[in-house]
Structure 1
Amino acid sequence: MKNHYTILGAALILGLCGVAGSFVISKELTPGYEMRQQTIAETQKEMQDTDHPLMTLTETAQFLRLSEEQVMNIMKAENAVLRNDGPFEGKKLPYLRVDNEFLFNKQQLLNWIQLASVENRVYNGTKLIVQ
């Protein structure tokens, strides 16, 4: 009789282990499970990034719907006018440089967009055409 209870107990434990193992495996093998976890992590990171007042060159280019090269050309054009013609009339694209990285203040960038639009500025490559 003692043998029957031992076998019954072992079978019960083995069955529970099988159910628990299949539950763990099903989570890992569920289609899209890892992708959903990754998407959640990316969404959380994006939410943190959007609250930050400074944007990188890449983020600024996306914000302005321009390429990174076009943003750099605007900066070069405005700096060329400043170097060649003296004081720059108007507001330059607001940025700061930390080591080799350009950072842009989102609020100042919005102000620059308004002013550049009102002045009807024309940027052609690395040249600012004053009208």
Structure 2
Amino acid sequence: MKNHYTILGAALILGLCLVAGSFVIGDRIRAGYEMQLLTPAGAQTERQAEDHPLMTLAETAQFLRLSEDQVKNIMKAENAMLRNDGPFEGTKLPYLRIDNEFLFNKQQLTVWILAATQEHRVYAGEKLAGN
């Protein structure tokens, strides 16, 4: 008889632990869900954009603190140097074009910034000269 009470007591304690654990886990899940509701939608999008290796033209312009037109002018200037002078010795602005959209590799963009500043490059044009 004593053995039955021990098993019954153990089962009761196990059941209580399961119920208490469910409440703890439920509260944590609910708290995480509430945090998602309280977090602005733009903040999640910003985090995703920070993690993504490619940036759009607008993101790249913001990253470089330039206008979109200035970034396009740099691309045109480097391509014109290739056409006019032959091989381009330096690091070009890293981009790829998919349909009509330009995408820029964030890591390679940092390398380009270092190279352009070390070489003291000057990009002059109507829209670049003003800034």
TM range (shorter): 0.5 to 0.7
Paired-residue identity, %: 73
Partner of 1:65: 65
Q: Report the Cα distance in structure 2 between the residues aligned to 1:122 and 1:65, rounded to whole angstroms.
A: 16
Partner of 1:92: 92
| Post-superposition CA distance 1:40-66 (Å, at most 9, x none) | 111111111110000000000000000
TM-score using structure 2 length: 0.66
> What amino acid does structure 2 have at the position aligned with 1:54?
L
RMSD across aligned C-alpha pairs, in angstroms? 1.5
What is the number of residues matched between the two proteins?
90
> What amino acid does structure 2 have at the position aligned with 1:121?
R
**Higher share in helix:** 2
Q: Give the gaps of 5 or more residues in structure 2.
A: 1-36, 127-131
> CA, structure 1 residues 38+73, in 2 after alignment: closer, same or farther (shift >3 Å)?
farther
Q: Report the Cα distance in structure 2 between the residues aligned to 1:42 and 1:75, rounded to whole angstroms.
A: 30
Partner of 1:115: 115
| Post-superposition CA distance 1:56-97 (Å, at most 9, x none) | 000000000000000000000000000011000111100000
TM-score using structure 1 length: 0.66
Partner of 1:50: 50
Structure 1 segments, 4+ long, off by >2 Å, are: none
